[in-house]
Chain A
Amino acid sequence: MADIHKNEVDAVSGVSTTGHEWDGIRELNNPLPRWWLWTFYACIVWAVLYWIAYPAWPLVSSYTYGVLGWKSRDAVQVQLADLRAQRAVFADKLAAASLTEIESNPELLSFARAQGRAAFGDNCAPCHGSGAAGSPGYPNLNDDDWLWGGSLEQIQQTILHGIRSTDPDAHVGDMMAFGRDGILPRPEVVAVADYVRSLSNLPVPQGVTPDLAKGKEVFDANCAACHGPDGKGNPELGAPNLTDGIWLYGSGRDNVIASITNGRAGIMPAWAGRLDPTTVKALTVYVHSLGGGR
């Protein structure tokens, strides 16, 4: 890096050098290409204009708004309005159609299922699971067992008003705490539990000798009012069918004894005030189409 090279002209290219040299390699003093330079200047001008036109500089408690008055929030509003306009074609049809009409129209069904799936993920999945497979205490919506009925109208009613919620039209049913509240003594609770399990042919644990006669006696006196004399349940009261293979709180002997002892009162919130009617419709159709709908 000696100054002796400065302003020396390179023999091959005819360009002067900068005076920088490394291991015999000298740096040519080529200027930036003209188009590059002008692009650079144009960018600077552009940036200044941009600061004036658009929100740019943060101030202590505010910011420079820009003369065009553009706001990102307005841009989102416009995009949302566009989205609504795009969806309006189907959304309006969906709002106007009855639940049965939606299911019989492939286009509407497809649209409702898509919208319903999204709404389900946002609102229902925390309890029922993202695939609506449920978990103990939270029903599986894919199967064909429905506490409160699985028709389109019944599902819509349940979504709108909930179960044991604060909504005045909510489903209300009471499975009493027969053991805890002292209505039935422990041996009768055990006997009726064994009887109920026998209705769906569940295996008897080793070392247990069920007293089915006693159990049936207790069942007829205490349980048949809601669950029916044959234990088939009653969707009007949300009383589950005790003769099938689906057990919301588990089918083990201990689970059944616990249910009879402490009662059961699962809660589902009402969605009438939170979701608009079209979304509830879409949800209804989606849940119904999961495979369990009647």
Chain B
Amino acid sequence: MNVATKVQKLEADGGVDDAPLYEARRKIYPIAVHGTFRRIKWALLVITLGIYYLLPFVRWDRGPNAPSQAVLVDLANGRFYFFFIEIWPQEIYYVTGLLILAALVLFLMNAVAGRLWCGYLCPQTVWTDLFQAIERMVEGDPRERREKQKNASKAQRAFEAASKHFLWLMVAWWTGGAWVLYFADAPTLVWQLFTGTAPLVAYAWIGILTFTTYVLAGHMREQVCTYMCPWPRIQAALTDEYAFNVTYRYDRGEPRNSFKKAEALKLQGLPAGDCVDCRQCVAACPTGVDIRLGSQLDCIQCGLCIDACDTVMKKVGRPAGLIAYDTEMNVQRRQKGLPPVRKLFRARTVLYTALIAVVGGIMVAALATRGSEGVSVIHDRNPLFVQLSDGSIRNAYTLRIVNKQPMPRRFAISVEGVPEARLEIAGGIAETENGQPVVEVGPDQTYELRALVSTHARLPANASLDVTFHIADVAGGETSSAPDHFKGP
């Protein structure tokens, strides 16, 4: 019975569903399956976890003044390194851009083939898959489990449970351990962790992530997807009738009968579906749903029921694909004798692809053209201006010059917008270039200085002139500027 017929039945019953709203949790122990989607999931599990666990150890040479870790979140120095990209705290909008891209890719995946993310790539799914595999390895398939509950000795069961939790905790511990490696030089930190000299915060985070991994992947599992995650709700609103989903083809499967009964019915010329009602799709499901009820919120569309069903169909000599990536619309069309339709180029897929191209293009362009130097300026507020003994007016500013290159650079400072302006640097700057003061900024550092601008020129009352500070790399010629005001009496 799919959702539509369920709703019809509900309406026929006067809209009253007598089933209680409360339901205690059924613990789910899915059976192992073999097939295409299982192989894809194993491959993705190895790839994603491999990236997660090993990426911190990948090296990337940035010269002598920067860390050589390919991916590093250097919180202490406020830097994020990603291969050839280095991001400063003020460039956090790149991360915003990445998040927007991630959302758009998620939307596109959803428009093409439903919950690809949930079924194959989401960390919750990947780790739960791994934890369930460990569970089956130690305690056996659900059938063995049930037999052991009746027959096996208490000691054996306790030993197996302890082994399972120990292995879970080991995986969880590695997960937490890999996490902290992204925040410090990985080989050094590994050594520190084993010699007990790592910072306390590293141990604390390993503890926290060990705990969350163990609880979320070992104990909570599908409840995270069903109750905690907002994406199932959002994705249901974003999907359409052309999106491929893991679908039970009730046009082929109904009415369900045992294999023998179905053959008998067929001989009599009566309708008999391909579904033999073996419930292997339900037994294989990591979230415990019955896909034959139609697409539903709990279903993460991992495709394991497809493998389970195909195995059975092969055994009974019926064509595979009773459960397949298909659309609800096509199932209905087949029922009416119409050919199935596939429409990859639709308004939403084109729009999402275009948006991804635009946002990605903006980010790449911004990244490629961003300067490796910068200047910001703050006007002294107290006092706003000072009258000097010769009657001229002076304003003071705090300048911060940023050098994002891994080598020291020299910048010439100039100011524009004040008539007869005289620029001085407090503390005295010995060096000048074409009469402009020059400061040296260390590799990948900022330099703060106090700039004094004074003028003899007669200013209008309550003057507030627009001024611009310029910095120019003496060697390379790159420039940057920052605006402010010049105040007068």
Query: Which A residues form the contact surface with B (CB < 8 A)?
Result: 12-13, 103-104, 106, 109-110, 129-131, 133, 140, 142-145, 241, 244-246, 289-293
Output the nearest chain B residue to A293 by Cβ-Cβ distance: B426
B383, A245: Cβ atoms closer than 8 Å: no
Cβ proximity bits B379-400 to A, threshold 8 Å, 1 near / 0 not: 0111100111111001010000
Closest Cβ of chain A to B429, distance in Å, is 10
Size of chain B's interface in residues, with CB distance under 8 A?
25
In the assembled complex, which residues on chain B have CB atoms less than 8 Å from the CB atom of A131?
A: 380-383
Known A104-B427, A292-B386; 19 more pairs at CB < 8 Å: A12-B20, A104-B428, A104-B430, A129-B383, A130-B382, A142-B383, A142-B386, A142-B396, A143-B389, A143-B394, A144-B388, A145-B388, A244-B391, A245-B388, A245-B390, A246-B388, A246-B389, A289-B450, A291-B452
| 27 pairs, CB–CB < 8 Å, chain A vs chain B | A13-B22, A104-B428, A104-B430, A109-B427, A129-B383, A133-B382, A133-B383, A140-B386, A142-B383, A142-B394, A142-B396, A143-B386, A143-B388, A143-B389, A145-B388, A145-B389, A244-B389, A245-B390, A246-B387, A246-B388, A246-B389, A289-B427, A289-B450, A290-B396, A290-B426, A291-B396, A293-B426
Is the C-beta of B159 less than 8 angstroms from some C-beta in chain A? no
Check B387 against A143 for contact (C-beta < 8 Å): yes
Measured CB to CB, the nearest residue on chain B to A28 is B22
Task: Report the minimum CB–CB distance from A25 to chain B (whole Å).
Answer: 13
**Pair A245/B450 contact, Cβ less than 8 Å:** no
B447 at the interface (CB under 8 A from A): yes
Chain A contacts of B428 at CB under 8 A? 103-104
Which residues of chain A are near B430, meaning CB under 8 Å? Answer: 104
Residues from chain A with Cβ under 8 Å of B20 in the complex: 12
Q: Considering the complex, give the chain B residue whose CB is closest to the CB of A131.
A: B382
A291 CB contact (under 8 Å) in B381, B382, B391, B450? B450
Q: How many CB-defined contacts (below 8 Å) exist between A and B?
A: 64
Residues of A near B427 (CB, < 8 A) are 103-104, 109, 289
Q: How far is the CA of A110 from the CA of B381 in the complex (A)?
A: 19
Which residue of B is nearest A240, CB measured? B389
Q: With CB as the reference atom, state the residue of chain A lying closest to B396.
A: A291
Contacts of A129 in B (CB 8 A): 382-383
Contact between chains at B390 and A140 (CB < 8 Å):
no
Which of B383, B389, B447 lies in contact with A241, CB distance below 8 A?
Answer: B389
Contact B383 A140 (CB under 8 A): yes
Tell me, yes or no, whether B241 is within 8 Å of chain A by CB.
Answer: no
Say whether B61 faces chain A, with CB atoms less than 8 Å apart.
no
Contact with A along B315-353 (1 / 0, CB 8 A): 000000000000000000000000000000000000000
Interface residue from B382, B387, B396, B424 paired with A245 (Cβ < 8 Å) = B387
**Chain A residue at minimal CB-CB distance from B19:** A12
